[in-house]
Structure 1
Amino acid sequence: MPLITQCCRETIEAPKATEPRSTTLIAVGSNDYYVHQSPFHRFFFSPSAFQEVAPKSFTEHLIACTIVNWAQDKFTEEDLNTIASSFASHDDVWNQAFLAVIVLRASGSVSVNVTRDVALVLTEISNNSLQNGPCVIEPLSGDAHAVSRLLDDRYSAFVGGSVRPELTDRSFEWLNIKKRVAVPSRLYNEAIPTRPLAGLRFAVKDIIDVAGLETGCGNSDYRRLYPRKRSSAPCIQQLVDAGAIFVGKTKTTQFSEGQVPLQWFDYLPPFNPRGDSYQKPSSSCAGSAVATAAYPWIDFTVGTDTGGSIRHPAGVCGVYGLRPSTGAISSAGIYPVSSILDAVGLMARSTLMLEAAFIHMVDSSTLVLRPTLPQKKKRYKLLYPVRAKGLKLGEPERWFPFPSEPGEFPDVESQFEDSIRQLEAYTHCTRHAFNLDDLWRETRPNGQSDNLDVATGHIYTVLSTYTCVRETIDPFIADFQASNHGRSPFIDPVVKARQAHGRRISTAEYEAAVQSAEMFSKWINESLFATSDEDELTLLIFPQNWGRPDYRVDADERDLFFSTFSIYSLSYLSGCPDCTVPVGEVERHSKLTEAKMLLPISLSILSPPGTDLALLRLLSDLEKVGILKPPAAGSSMYPTQREAY
């Protein structure tokens, strides 16, 4: 039979005087928890009510319990079982051990008929803001505290976890426990109509400002030099205001440069969880992609994309990655690489999650998104770029194989083909096959080379190095030298070499690259996305990731800079939305583990600038009908289909 006591006081009191913070941990069941220092929503219970249940506490000074808000006049064993089942299925923080003590908050008298051995404290609700869920109470003071479950960052995705000093505060502080992340209960944030993202957890690339934390940009000297930020980037604050829960910052390559794992020196590079866990996670949003792919307790991550920093990591890590229309999300409070090319974007394991988060990050003051068309009026045009006829195998796999010609990876191409046929059937349209190089030669602007590599290959290198060196890197070096008796900061060698190149670019070269970018942007929007039908949505689809092994222990044998046409330039120069879409995985043999592994394959889907919502709604519809399947977290995207792995 339960031990039942009556709480004679439940009040909301003024905050206590601030005391030095300490870290309090508690083990409940088989899990470790961080105890938040501030009283839970400023609630205090009568200490006398907890003296009798103190023997059931997990420490001498703290009692772990479950808060239950109850509106009925009876509370039975069946009710308790229903609550326990619901909490267990909806929350990965609460566990059955919290049921040893139940605080039943009711609006009036309650008849209790519970047979299991629990301690039940009855209290009358004085305020409705205290949510259901796990809690710890100090029996001597009656203070109630929220808890967060401590989870391991086993794939090294995070710079660090974070907590809120106050649950209602707009500022954060670092969790002072290395290699762990504190995750609060989803139950705390349920059923809050004014906060549509309540309970969803997210992490942020460490070039984006979060109030109370340093912005490190992947460089330890940069992190130590500049103070903690007083405010969050507007897009991050919008997510928090909508109820999303920020849990920490993810690792990035230094200053968002492209780096393979062997080129990281300040931090251990993240481990891609897919396959044998020793595949490269790509860059620069490596940490955000890995966190999304590895941890089911992360719902989405926020990153930035200049030349592919969201889309390629999303592809190799087997998650969705959205680079929105340029300017759709404000870049204020974010370390800039190139104001022309930068975009703030998202990663998630579900298109529905991607859409929900994007809607609450949009900056309506900078870009008016085109409204989505009513379902009955939607018409689609599907552009399907193919390789040149007769192209020998081994050439870059930018595009799909030429029709009727065999490709190099038939197991991948068959899955691509299956996905595209389903897309055609759903949108009631037939793909239009074309070769981009041929289209460029036929329609290129006057005075431009007929070779895309020559016409566009230089643009990214110039735009991504010229401005950031002058506006951010060199001022940082000067600030560091002034604070460190002339000593220069440490910068990873490959990054330093690219920055040195940026200093050698002349103003005339930069202005010429800007003109080339504007030219190519105009050509893309007029030659690929132009339509005379306002009710038609043009989609451009191409291969994003072919599932080829790319081991983190291998060096980067590519040139310091790309000098050829980049498929990523279609979106970063035209300003259109570009979404990486995982569509399957393929079996490969790992040279490191000498065993079979499954690697992700993915497509890229683009639509005209400003059509982000239409593109996301289409992808969400495809997920709802089962054409797109949300990948799971872990080594395999679809573990239930691959039980042998």
Structure 2
Amino acid sequence: MASFLNNASFYLSEAGVMVDPVETSLGMFRMTGYVLKQACLAGITSAMAVRNPVVLTQALSGLDRVFQLGNQSYLATSASVLMHEPLDIEPTALAATHIVATTSLISGQYLQDTIERYLATDDVFSEDFLQVILVSSNHSSTVDASARNLAESLGSRILQLPPESAKLPPGPILLQSDGSIRFSRVSRLYTDVYSTFVSGIYESNGTYKPLSLVDPAWGHPLIPVPSRLYSEGDPRPLAGARVGVKDIYDVAGLRTALGSKAWARMVSDAESTAPSIQCVVDLGGVLVGKQKTSQFASGALAWEWTDVYHPQNPRGDGCLSCSASSAGGACSIAGYEWLDFAIGSDTGQSVRQPAAFAGVYGNRPSQGMMNLEGVMPISYGTDTAGVFARDPRQLAKFARAWYTSSLHQGSDMNGLPDLHVPSTGGSPKRILYPVDQLPLRNPAAEAVLQGFLDRVTEAMGMTIEKINATAKVESVTGRSYESFLADLGTLWRYTQLKVVGKPFLDFYSPDFPIMELPFRSSWKNSTLDHDEHDRALQRRRRDSDVWHEEVLFGTEDSCSEAIMLYDIGTGGLPSFREEYLNDGPDAAVPEGPGTRRAGSTLASFLGSADYTIPIGQVPYYSKVTHQEHSLPVTINMMVKRGCDFVLFDFIEELADKGILMPVSTGRKAFV
């Protein structure tokens, strides 16, 4: 029972008469029910002429309810019930708005300004929630005649709550009386039109539940998104941020499917949430859905996905690839204004390349930046956790809060020295331009890159030095690039085969479960060689040390004296999700992770921090629509391991100078 109702008085402002206080909470609930019933009978009938009534459409588990206001669907959840007490009154459901007053006099102007602010800042709130206006304050407030007149003109009624009810969050509320009184938070249900989510999720009764509702026309998942107004006054750095989570991270109450139907049948729901994801929640983030991944987070190309339909890229003609692995997260950020961040993982290039294909910001942090307990592994030595965002400043804010030292991964997991991450440091002085990775294949995209570099060097006082990255690796490590790649392959195969592959195959033996192309032969014929894995880790440690001493090194003035550039995309050419569309000189299939031409290999093996950055767009001709569309152009910036926050400072400074910009959702990254 809500304690703020005890011995409290309610006012029905339209009636202009104070309801006498009652001595018991149950009596107050009955009086509340009476007031609500009278509000409905006296005022809401007239409101129906100007706004949509609540239509309860579906009961889910417990007290969770789906309802409609006009053509828009919402979810009210039992975990968010704010008052609940048995009561014998007629069933009623009203869409209400709670306003926490910050003034002693609630005037019509104050009410109007607040409603306009709600409409301007929140996509869940609408005028349909003005059937009843609930007003509370931390101190005694008076509702004057102008406020009552405004409410009447809106076809609404004001219900003034006692001061203690200010702990009720501001914003849209579903008010129900069906044998009890419940004030519940609501979420708007958005349709995942780009097929980027496995399902929506919501918190109910202390755990998370999948929302198994879909759009009836196309079967797209519905994603529950709570009001942004609920986080007003919350000082936490991620308060109210809506976050999607790649479906390799455990979330309590949900099944982690790893993009595999056979794996989903084998495992049960997670009993706890991965520390990395719990940290997001503790920082104020709101988890809204599990997002698609290629099977076991592989590098499978779009046409190689079997169990899960490949996400659709909002950019250009709508037929571009989203890359692999964390593809769902990248393309959701490119497609939906209602989503703020998406959590991915990056072993080979699984955040960085999807970010490039979708034209959004995405990072691979320094190796060891995040505890990955409760996350499906590929390689304990090279797995990392990254994030997608549309705004470089917002990504930096998220990352600074999320990558706390208390969640750093120990050297016993990755074989590298324990991580030291300075919070500040001087900006890099040089830009390394690898001639074996650049220029971009599309001359128009290379022109965008050169214009970007001209602005960066002038604004930041930097110089550009051309190097051959492959030759540099061989010279500083003293071994061939093929040997370097072979060790990376050993690291990538060992952990996942041991922790995921072998248990998976044993469970289905003597049958062989359905798997995507990258695993059909590799897992069937592979053996575990612990000693070779350890030797590869030792060689990687040596290579990483010398790389960060001789190439991406620090000085007294700079955490990372240089930034290395490379292209993780397709050189400014489109890459389509249908294989045959990539034939010919005007399209391209991306370089596979861990190959000689893949610049992403360096950060994956050496543990450096790496960031995908949208810098512009170029036109391309679509073989599907037979029209010209826009393709994002991105570049990657890599710095010394441990210099993540300094790179974020650098990126933010470029944003402050107008050199980097937030990207938009939809067909064009920049409009």
Do they superpose with TM above 0.5?
yes
Does structure 1 residue 384 correspond to structure 2 residue 420?
Answer: no
Deviation at 1:87, TM superposition (A): 0.8
Letter in 2 for 1:491: M
Deviation at 1:174, TM superposition (A): 0.7
Q: Is the 8 A contact 1:39 1:143 kept in 2?
A: no
Does structure 1 residue 147 correspond to structure 2 residue 186?
Answer: yes
Aligned ranges for residues 160-199 of structure 1 at < 5 Å?
Answer: 160-166=199-205, 169=206, 171-178=207-214, 179-193=221-235, 195-199=236-240
Number of the residue aligned with 1:358 = 399
Number of the residue aligned with 2:173 = 135
Q: Is the 8 A contact 1:292 1:349 kept in 2?
A: yes
Deviation at 1:278, TM superposition (A): 0.8
Of residues 49, 71, 80, the one that matches 2:111 is 80
Does structure 1 residue 491 correspond to structure 2 residue 515?
Answer: yes
Deviation at 1:494, TM superposition (A): 3.2
Deviation at 1:458, TM superposition (A): 2.2
Letter in 2 for 1:549: P
Does structure 1 residue 602 correspond to structure 2 residue 645?
Answer: no
CA offset digits 1:564-617 (Å, max 9, x no partner): 253112211221110000111111010011111111110101111111111112
C-alpha distance in 2, partners of 1:86/1:525? 50
CA offset digits 1:498-548 (Å, max 9, x no partner): 3235x1575565455434433432342122112443445322222333331
Letter in 1 for 2:490: V
What's the TM-score, normalizing by structure 1?
A: 0.85
Of residues 499, 521, 542, the one that matches 2:544 is 521
Deviation at 1:79, TM superposition (A): 1.8
Of residues 128, 131, 144, the one that matches 1:100 is 131
Q: Is the 8 A contact 1:65 1:98 kept in 2?
A: yes
Aligned ranges for residues 549-560 of structure 1 at < 5 Å?
Answer: 549-554=574-579
C-alpha distance in 2, partners of 1:224/1:541? 43
Deviation at 1:73, TM superposition (A): 3.3
Aligned ranges for residues 602-621 of structure 1 at < 5 Å?
Answer: 602-621=634-653
C-alpha distance in 2, partners of 1:7/1:430? 75
Of residues 69, 75, 91, the one that matches 2:122 is 91
C-alpha distance in 2, partners of 1:470/1:297? 39
Change (3 A) 1:550 1:561: closer
Number of the residue aligned with 2:411 = none
The range that moved more, 28-37 or 291-300, is 28-37
Of residues 331, 342, 345, the one that matches 1:301 is 342
> Identity over the aligned pairs, expressed in percent?
27
Deviation at 1:475, TM superposition (A): 1.1
C-alpha distance in 2, partners of 1:544/1:425? 25
Letter in 1 for 2:117: S
Aligned ranges for residues 476-487 of structure 1 at < 5 Å?
Answer: 476-481=504-509, 487=511
Runs of 5+ consecutive residues of structure 1 not aligned to the other structure: 14-18, 52-59, 389-397, 401-406, 640-645
Q: Is the 8 A contact 2:199 2:289 kept in 1?
A: yes
Q: Is the 8 A contact 1:3 1:118 kept in 2?
A: no
Number of the residue aligned with 1:544 = 568
Deviation at 1:31, TM superposition (A): 1.8
Determine helix, strand or coil for the equivalent of 2:624.
coil
Q: Is the 8 A contact 1:7 1:46 kept in 2?
A: no
Number of the residue aligned with 1:420 = 453
Change (3 A) 1:75 1:4: farther
C-alpha distance in 1, partners of 2:311/2:359? 15
C-alpha distance in 1, partners of 2:312/2:456? 33
The range that moved more, 216-225 or 137-146, is 137-146
Does structure 1 residue 120 correspond to structure 2 residue 158?
Answer: yes
Determine helix, strand or coil for the equivalent of 2:120.
helix
Determine helix, strand or coil for the equivalent of 1:26.
strand
Q: Is the 8 A contact 2:362 2:612 kept in 1?
A: yes
Determine helix, strand or coil for the equivalent of 1:34.
strand
C-alpha distance in 2, partners of 1:39/1:418? 51
Runs of 5+ consecutive residues of structure 2 not aligned to the other structure: 1-11, 27-59, 215-220, 409-417, 583-588
Q: Is the 8 A contact 2:568 2:599 kept in 1?
A: no
Letter in 1 for 2:225: V
C-alpha distance in 2, partners of 1:606/1:563? 18
Does structure 1 residue 245 correspond to structure 2 residue 278?
Answer: no
Change (3 A) 1:25 1:379: closer
Q: Is the 8 A contact 1:7 1:45 kept in 2?
A: no
CA offset digits 1:79-129 (Å, max 9, x no partner): 222112211221111112112321112332332413323221122222432
Q: Is the 8 A contact 2:429 2:461 kept in 1?
A: no
Does structure 1 residue 236 correspond to structure 2 residue 274?
Answer: no
Deviation at 1:487, TM superposition (A): 4.1
C-alpha distance in 2, partners of 1:165/1:207? 22
Determine helix, strand or coil for the equivalent of 2:113.
helix
Q: Is the 8 A contact 1:72 1:110 kept in 2?
A: no
Indicate the RMSD between aligned Cα atoms, in angstroms.
Answer: 2.8
Deviation at 1:358, TM superposition (A): 1.6
Q: Is the 8 A contact 1:67 1:105 kept in 2?
A: yes
Q: Is the 8 A contact 2:476 2:547 kept in 1?
A: no
Deviation at 1:476, TM superposition (A): 2.2
Determine helix, strand or coil for the equivalent of 1:322.
strand
Change (3 A) 1:7 1:571: farther
Change (3 A) 1:360 1:531: closer
Number of the residue aligned with 1:434 = 467
Number of the residue aligned with 1:630 = 662
C-alpha distance in 2, partners of 1:28/1:568? 48
Determine helix, strand or coil for the equivalent of 2:635.
strand
Q: Is the 8 A contact 2:568 2:600 kept in 1?
A: no
Aligned length: 592
Q: Is the 8 A contact 1:153 1:181 kept in 2?
A: yes
Number of the residue aligned with 2:599 = 567
C-alpha distance in 2, partners of 1:223/1:8? 57
Letter in 2 for 1:297: W
The range that moved more, 119-128 or 415-424, is 119-128
C-alpha distance in 1, partners of 2:279/2:19? 39
CA offset digits 1:319-344 (Å, max 9, x no partner): 11110011111111111100111111
Aligned ranges for residues 214-233 of structure 1 at < 5 Å?
Answer: 214-233=255-274
Q: Is the 8 A contact 2:655 2:661 kept in 1?
A: yes
Letter in 2 for 1:417: Q
Aligned ranges for residues 53-72 of structure 1 at < 5 Å?
Answer: 61-72=92-103
Determine helix, strand or coil for the equivalent of 1:224.
helix
Deviation at 1:425, TM superposition (A): 2.2
Number of the residue aligned with 1:372 = 423
What's the TM-score, normalizing by structure 2?
A: 0.82
Q: Is the 8 A contact 1:327 1:363 kept in 2?
A: no
C-alpha distance in 2, partners of 1:153/1:526? 46
Change (3 A) 1:303 1:536: closer
Number of the residue aligned with 1:589 = 621
